[in-house]
Structure 1
């Protein structure tokens, strides 16, 4: 690390004396890789320490030298459980902070811009045109504020549908295998739940009812659903207060029925673990999640749940919304060499070897490839001793350059990239719309607190729907939700060109 910091200081001094310049200029003036700028980027970690971090960092940097990249990388594992706190501190450290980071599970593009944590990337568009041509145009807009690109969306399907997964042995027992891998009706779904509960009342069947796809809304990227588009945003021009709609009431009544029927885990408001964990522990027999294909959903369950074989039922159609753009990568406002950071960011999106170092580590050391191009732990290696996190390829800029890990689905990523150009896929009319709540900040903060107080209790069926909804909506009105909806509609109309 001391050598890296000396190299950074040398390059910074060179750039101060010569004025701002690109990484390419710096490389031309200094062909010594030890004096190239060093970019600090976060890597995903469960503990904050990865035993083979230095080995992988060295291998990555050797490759960067071999392609004359003009930039070196300093990988910084951040413990996932404490990541938000660590990132906030790093983003305020102008001397030893972070240069490249992602906003997933941390913040939103709008909040980062308002907090002056990131820089705009538009000036690099001519230098790295390929970076702006990877995904559909509307996807890039989801990471813009006031027309400026502050974040690059991370590769994903950018759309999905709701699925329900169930243990195969139970699906066979209750006689619903003929519906597996098919799109089923709401009545068929309810029949499956009822039969499963009758056969195994000791298990729960729904672990998270806060699923926007199944509810049929585009929440415009905001988890508190203050202002949404119905019909998942397809051909929708009007933003509504979801909490006063007939649709929300009907869903709450369904959730209350699910609770009364025993489908939820006991004490659901205090048991907020992951569905896959509950299935493995023998607490749940199934649950809902979102996927871009049935094959992907099955592969995901196979990777996450080892002691049961799972089957998949599709509940609705593929739709892309703002909330299906799950991640984006950014250059911090404290970055001392944004040109170098942008160079590394471009390579993370476009260079297969660079992308695989981050997502998989070193071939032969942390993973091996089979004859189908799928990645697996080497013999004698597992998650406890691999020394690198291979379970979160979605965390990085372009997981599609990697190899499918711990699955036999060789089309895992090619199916994902096919979503970007499939003419049958539908997208919300608001795809790319980014609401800036600055003009109604106080109202938004107050309404968010109200949502936190009432919504989950309603969705987990823990309260009387009529009385709770009445109080819920009264407080939302008092706290200014109508002003928020008005401001959202104004900005949305401008986005639509009205």
Structure 2
């Protein structure tokens, strides 16, 4: 259910009171205390689970109740589900990890290494070593390298695509007119030819909608090494180990030259840096033709997806969204037991990911599900099925019709076959260059989106940005990043 901060505060107050009562009772009769402990061992334990959501979930309480009918009897665990909108997640999750209101919590928006450095997450290494066989079949130790820091496991990956294809999503009717098929591989030259021809035929539509609202696309063929600001990267899809200034790489300059030509020739909206519309909306309502996008194996209604860069995964791909246990959790054993349930119990997973059958979805003969007739993820009351990539382990649930019956099998295969950055599992620690990093982030914020979206001249702007980077201490950051990466690679 969507808990309020008022309730969380009250819960914290109740915890303080409980601790006070426990302290008062500690001097009492030893037999009474023993009996109380024995009774408590058999009682249902409440575990607070915090999950991001892209939709309002007015029926979340119904789903929670259905889950707890299973978990209370089968596992003696009561799950207190808390859903927080993705827009508020970073701020609220950071606050939650300063107290004990959260037990199991998603790591999303803030780097895993930041929380580990701050001592806010429990070490799960021993828990994993003693985990059930069913759990260990979900993620191997090799996979958990991606959510480990200095050899210790601090989180468990969730189920989603860990790498991405980078390609062009196109209105399916227009793609058919130009003979472009789903999954077709295109060079940038072929993309350029299509965009210009399509824009000429449909001059009232932008050839390219911005993927990120105010940016043509957030990333391309460079790995920021756990640093979303890209202050020092590995280009070439992470297939080099030399940390470089992004703005000086051939990858970045080539992309910016393409985007600049598209912007100057009107293929991209001129006010892109102030745009607030989603690219899906712009294509669906006839404002745009296509969008550069990164994606996994899921499909989109009304669009086809092409491939420009084959699937590859950045260094911190597993850690970008994962689930951990709050260091301040009052019962880490119960929290870990809950983690195992979320990753292994298919009945619980189906409820958490899809909701209640007949209310939030209907089953199809091919093994997929659909939202009830006339309903969508946004208005069915519980639309989590549309965001399978958020929950802990969606592979034990039922896939949406748009993704097909073999979706989770395909997703598993996709992850196994994805090219990984040579720095896979590494994440940069900014502690020793904190001031320089802050200064360089400010420079990046000033120029990155403008360059990626083609609104400024690459040659002169990059020269100006590089001068500001040098003054801000970029060389110190690259040196430190390279040092940490070399140490990481030497330990592998």
TM-score, normalization by structure 2: 0.86
Q: Does 1:327 align with 2:321?
A: yes
Instruction: Name 2:49's counterpart in structure 1.
Output: 41
Shift of 1:493: 0.8
1:360 counterpart = 2:354: yes
Gaps of 5+ in 2: 27-34
The structural deviation recorded for 1:474 is: 0.7
2:138 is paired with a residue of what secondary structure?
coil
Distance in 2, matches of 1:382 and 1:212, equals: 27
2:29 aligns with none
Deviation at 1:108, TM superposition (A): 1.0
Aligned twin of 1:188: 190
Residue 267 of structure 1 corresponds to which residue in structure 2?
271
Q: Any idea what the Cα deviations from partners look like across 1:290-343, whole Å, max 9, x if unmatched? A: 2334xx3xx2x11xxxxxx22222112122222543411111122111111111
The aligned runs of 1:283-294 (5 Å cut-off) are 283-293=287-297
| Distance (whole Å) between structure 2 residues aligned to residue 8 and residue 403 of structure 1 | 41
Q: CA deviation at 1:271?
A: 0.8
Partner Cα distance (2:248, 2:167) in 1: 27
Deviation at 1:452, TM superposition (A): 0.2
| Alpha-carbon shift at residue 151 of structure 1 (Å) | 1.5
- 1:438-457 equivalences in 2 (<5 Å): 438-457=431-450
Q: C-alpha separation between the residues in 1 aligned to 2:397 and 2:472?
A: 47
1:482, CA displacement in angstroms?
0.8
Alpha carbon RMSD of aligned pairs, Å? 3.1
Paired residues of 2:316 and 2:426 also in contact (CA < 8 A): no
367, 380, 384: which one aligns with 1:373: 367
Please, which of 200, 204, 207 is the counterpart of residue 206 of structure 2?
204
SS in 2 for 1:407: helix
Cα-to-partner distance string for 1:122-144 (whole Å, 9 max, x where unaligned): 12122215445534655422322
Matched, 1:90 2:96: yes
Please give the residue correspondences for 1:417-456 in structure 2 after superposition, counting only pairs within 5 Å: 417-422=412-417, 425-456=418-449
Is the 1:265–1:284 Cα contact (8 Å) retained in structure 2? no
| 1:12–1:337 CA contact under 8 A, matched in 2 | no
| Structure-2 separation of matches of 1:157 and 1:380 | 29
Secondary structure of the corresponding residue to residue 402 of structure 2: coil
Q: Find the residue that maps to 2:306 and give its secondary structure.
A: strand
Query: Which residue of 159, 162, 169 maps to 2:163?
Result: 159
Q: Distance in 1 between matches of 2:136 and 2:485?
A: 24
Secondary structure class of the residue paired with 2:428: coil
User: For 2:172 and 2:19, how far apart are their aligned partners in 1?
Assistant: 59
Aligned to 1:71: 77
Residues 416-469 of structure 1: per-residue CA shift (max 9 Å, x gap): 0123444xx422111111211111111111101110011111111212222211
Distance in 1 separating the partners of 2:110 and 2:421:
22
**Structure 1 residue 32, shift from structure 2 partner:** 8.5
Q: Is residue 117 of structure 1 aligned with residue 120 of structure 2?
A: yes
d(CA) in 2 for partners of 1:483, 1:330: 32
